[in-house]
Structure 1
Amino acid sequence: MASVVALDSLLDSRRVWRGQPQARPTSRQPTGFAALDAQLPSGGWPESALSELLLPMDGIGELRLLWPTLARLSQAGDASSDEKIVLIAPPYLPFASAWANAGVRLERLQIVLAQPRDVLWATEQCLRSAACAAVLCWPLQADDRALRRLQVAAETGQCLGFALRDAKAAANPSPAALRIVIDTAPAQLRVIKCRGGNPPTQPLPLSALAH
């Protein structure tokens, strides 16, 4: 006869995953690209959630993909607003003029230099703080448990979280609400996971991303 196991013990041992409600967000976080918004169930970045951009290399257009949203968030409210755009352990020193030309208010932009072992911890603290409009991080390694903590922190702090990771991670499952692979040959985006609906069956050419 099978034994009865308490549900709480199964959840604590991570043998059962507690799913999140699939309600559509009450407000939109448009990407700034109509073609991409049309492919996403929420019509943009998932609200208060972690999104992953999976890259074969740095500098292939991932920041251009995020700049319209970051610019809009940085311009919201007045100059004294405490909500920041935070970059945690970027692989290169951001070029201030490029960010300013993209419309991001530099006074709302903060850079956190962290050792690789501290990137995930720093990201979680910023996401959870409710003091940030968006947090971008570049973790060298992140397992399912670490990513789940970031997802929960984004929900708690009602913040947009973005993890920019190696494209090889696409082969592994992730609790992130949205996962996008950026390919270079051909130049395209592939949505491989999106909360609230099925991923589109066709990739989106980068040439289709026009404001």
Structure 2
Amino acid sequence: MNAEVKTELAVLLRQGVVWRGSSAGRASAAVITSGFPSLDEQTGGGWPRGALSEIFSPQGLGFSLLLPLLAELSRQQQWLTWVNPPHVPYAPALEARQVNIARVLLVKVRDTEQSLWAAEQALRSGNCSLVLLWVERVSATRIRRLQLAAEESNCMGILFRPLQQRQQASMAALRLQITPAGDGL
């Protein structure tokens, strides 16, 4: 990370605009490692538990960041719920990455409103360790509802959104912008 970016990040951290995991006082048990040391370093240890995270990317990039998390959480007895994924998950590829596909629950609905309702219900249920949701547009109010539902049941929620939506206000605990790079993301 270059000095200019570090300076800008430091200013945002001081203003309280950016959450930085454990530096905000969260216990290490409140995160699950991402499986990527450089990402864990930037997020204070990994993905926040009991919280909503957002991933902004062009055309759904960034899903590969979740594979270690999916493998870890699929060892538990709770569901990994996917609400309206853009593609049907390819089971052999997930199994090759040690994801127990017997713990994966797919929810396909017709529209955004139904997607948001299904994700909120899954987050609140207490039967899921992770809820993944893909939507094009969502209001700040609905993001807050998803965040509160995740907190109530200590479930992780990850909302995939188009890159152009990243300027919208959000109550998500973690927001990541993913762009392609020459050697990865």
Give the total of aligned pairs: 160
TM-score for the superposition, normalised by structure 2:
0.82
Q: Over residues 101-140 of structure 1, what are the superposed CA-to-partner deviations in whole Å (9 max), with x where a residue is unaligned?
A: 1111011111001122200000000001110010000012
Task: Give aligned-pair identity as a percent.
Answer: 36
Q: Who is 1:84 aligned against?
A: 79
Return the letter of the residue paired with 2:27.
P
| Structure 2 residue 52 is matched with structure 1 residue 50 | yes
| Structure 2 residue 59 is matched with structure 1 residue 63 | no
Q: Over residues 69-89 of structure 1, what are the superposed CA-to-partner deviations in whole Å (9 max), with x where a residue is unaligned?
A: 11001113xxxx2x1101000
Q: Who is 1:108 aligned against?
A: 103
| Runs of 4+ residues over 2 Å off in structure 1 | none
In the alignment, the residues of structure 1 paired with residue 169 and residue 49 of structure 2 have an alpha-carbon distance, to the nearest angstrom, of 20
Q: Over residues 42-61 of structure 1, what are the superposed CA-to-partner deviations in whole Å (9 max), with x where a residue is unaligned?
A: x1111210000001112x3x
Query: Which one has a larger percent helix, Structure 1 or Structure 2?
Result: 2
Quick check: which has more Rg, 1 or 2? 1
Q: Over residues 4-48 of structure 1, what are the superposed CA-to-partner deviations in whole Å (9 max), with x where a residue is unaligned?
A: xxxxxxxxxxxxxxxxxx54035031001111101112x111121
Consecutive unaligned residues in structure 2, runs of 5 or more: 1-23
Contact kept? 1:88, 1:122, Cα under 8 Å = yes
Q: Over residues 136-190 of structure 1, what are the superposed CA-to-partner deviations in whole Å (9 max), with x where a residue is unaligned?
A: 0001210100000000000011101000010111111111000001112x45xxx
Return the letter of the residue paired with 1:146.
R
What secondary structure is seen at the aligned counterpart in 1 of 2:143?
A: helix
Q: Give the root-mean-square deviation of aligned CA atoms.
A: 1.5
Contact kept? 1:25, 1:46, Cα under 8 Å = no
What pairs up with 1:49-198 in 2 under 5 angstroms?
49-58=51-60, 60=61, 62-76=62-76, 81=77, 83-116=78-111, 117-184=113-180, 186=181
Q: Who is 1:35 aligned against?
A: 38
What pairs up with 1:8-27 in 2 under 5 angstroms?
23-27=25-29
In the alignment, the residues of structure 2 paired with residue 138 and residue 144 of structure 1 have an alpha-carbon distance, to the nearest angstrom, of 15
Q: Who is 2:9 aligned against?
A: none
Q: How far off its partner does 1:206 sit? A: 3.7
